[in-house]
């Protein structure tokens, strides 16, 4: 049988690199990685022109609800705790989550998974009423529902032409939630600080309480590919699994990374998250994370439905022991 050629758009992460460089090859598939041009990949994704793609989990939920022809496999190449992604203007008087009520908080669109997770966690864990925050969308309403329903958390359009960092440092907004550190914060500007200075401890307590390691991205496949070749999802899951396991094994070698205390970091992560917190498939932890992001997207009026975790993915076997070619 001839091998199937599929395009692949995915970040160059340690856990995916073996797929991108061809060290790991899915059974029956030749993957053709696209260049790391995020703007180009975004345009192709929106036109459904990429066969296999890393996809923002919230945008995927919305795409599925709107009937776009794509499915996903339970592979999560990007996950992140997000308490450290909330920044405040130090002159704003904001010292706690409650102080965000009635204040202007900058966001770069409503759909980015980081922002959806942050808002949901602030609501669930800290009692913030999201409708009592003035969400300043500098993208001018990116993420509104296409059918004309109420925009999620109604953005303030007057700020659309200004960058979040400029607004934050000038005091034009009191805070921001973002997947990226504001340039001013990275430069050491005293006008900008984290809402949670001890964010790492807060994130650890959050995981100990909830057992949730937030999912940011998922791997999607064009539905036409799966309809024609129903074996593809299992082949891809096996390949992504093999690539991740190889990376984790290599990174546990203390000679691989130039960090003096890397073994201590591994021991700390193992004690809190277990030996393989990046595991794929519909594990209990992954289902909990998916159920939570589905609820957050619905409560923030980005989506309207409540699909089960299983219904969001193409049927696949449990995470395999590995059935891929390794060069």
pLDDT at 86: 97
Cα–Cα nearest to 311, from 283, 280, 292, 290: 290
Looking at residue 148, its pLDDT comes to: 42
More confident residue, 136 or 192: 192
Look at strands 4-9 and 29-33 and give their pairing.
Answer: parallel
Is 70 exceeded by the pLDDT of residue 41?
no
Q: Which two tokens stand for residue 131?
A: 């409708």
Task: Specify the range with the lowest mean pLDDT, choosing from 30-34, 98-102, 195-199, 274-278.
Answer: 274-278
**Confidence at residue 2, expressed as pLDDT on a 0 to 100 scale:** 85
In 70-137, beta strands by DSSP E: 70-73, 86-89, 104-107, 134-137
For residues 1 and 46, the model is more confident at 1
What domains are there in the chain, each with its CATH number? 4-79+213-242+272-326 (3.40.190.10), 83-210 (3.40.190.10)
The confidence band for 153, taking pLDDT boundaries of 50, 70 and 90, is: very low
Q: With a cut of 80, say whether residue 31 has pLDDT above it.
A: yes
What pLDDT, on the 0 to 100 scale, is given for residue 321?
A: 56
pLDDT, tens digit, 9 for 90 and up, residues 84-103: 999 999 999 999 999 999 99
121 CB-contact burial (10 Å; exposed 0-12 / middle 13-18 / buried 19+): buried
Cβ proximity of 107 and 177 under 8 Å: yes
Q: Which of 128, 131, 129, 160 is nearest to 143 (CA)?
A: 160
288-326: per-residue pLDDT in tens?
A: 999 999 999 999 999 999 999 999 999 888 666 544 555
Min mean pLDDT across 150-154, 180-184, 223-227, 274-278 is at: 150-154
Helix axes 113-126, 284-299, angle to 10 degrees: 90
pLDDT surpassing 90 at residue 113:
yes
pLDDT of 129 higher than 60: yes
Mean pLDDT of the chain: 88
Provide the percentage of residues in the chain whose pLDDT is more than 70. Answer: 85
pLDDT band with cut points at 50, 70 and 90 for residue 180 = confident
Of 58-67, 70-79, 146-155, 262-271, give the lowest mean pLDDT range: 146-155
What's the confidence (pLDDT) of residue 152?
Answer: 44
Which residue, among 280, 297, 201, 193, has the nearest Cα to 242 in the 3D structure? 280
């Amino acid at each position: 049988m001839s091998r199937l050629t599929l395009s692949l758009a995915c970040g160059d992460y340690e856990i995916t690199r073996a797929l991108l460089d061809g060290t790991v090859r899915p059974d029956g598939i030749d993957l053709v990685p696209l260049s790391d041009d995020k703007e180009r990949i975004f345009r192709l994704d929106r036109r459904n022109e990429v066969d296999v793609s890393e996809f923002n989990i919230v945008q995927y939920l919305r795409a599925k609800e709107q009937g776009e022809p794509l499915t996903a496999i339970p592979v999560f190449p990007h996950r992140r705790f997000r308490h450290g992604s909330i920044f405040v203007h130090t002159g704003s008087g904001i010292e706690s989550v409650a102080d965000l009520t009635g204040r202007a908080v900058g966001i770069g669109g409503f759909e980015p998974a980081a922002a959806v997770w942050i808002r949901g966690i602030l609501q669930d864990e800290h009692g913030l009423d999201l409708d009592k925050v003035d969400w300043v969308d500098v993208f001018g309403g990116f993420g509104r529902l296409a059918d004309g329903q109420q925009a999620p958390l109604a953005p303030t359009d007057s700020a659309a032409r200004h960058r979040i960092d400029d607004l934050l440092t000038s005091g034009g907004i009191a805070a921001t939630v973002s997947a990226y550190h504001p340039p001013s914060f990275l430069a050491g500007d005293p006008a900008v600080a984290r809402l949670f200075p001890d964010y790492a401890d807060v994130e650890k307590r959050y995981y100990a309480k909830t057992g949730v390691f937030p999912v940011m991205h998922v791997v999607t496949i064009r539905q036409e590919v799966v309809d024609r070749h129903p074996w593809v999802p299992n082949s891809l899951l096996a390949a992504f699994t093999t690539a991740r396991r190889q990376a984790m094994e290599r990174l546990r070698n203390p000679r691989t990374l130039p960090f003096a205390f890397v073994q201590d970091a591994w021991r700390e992560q193992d004690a809190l998250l277990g030996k393989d917190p990046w595991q794929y498939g519909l594990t209990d932890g992954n289902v909990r994370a998916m159920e939570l992001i589905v609820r957050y997207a619905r409560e923030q009026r980005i989506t309207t439905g409540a699909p089960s975790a299983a219904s969001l993915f193409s049927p696949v076997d449990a995470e395999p022991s590995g059935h891929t070619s390794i060069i």
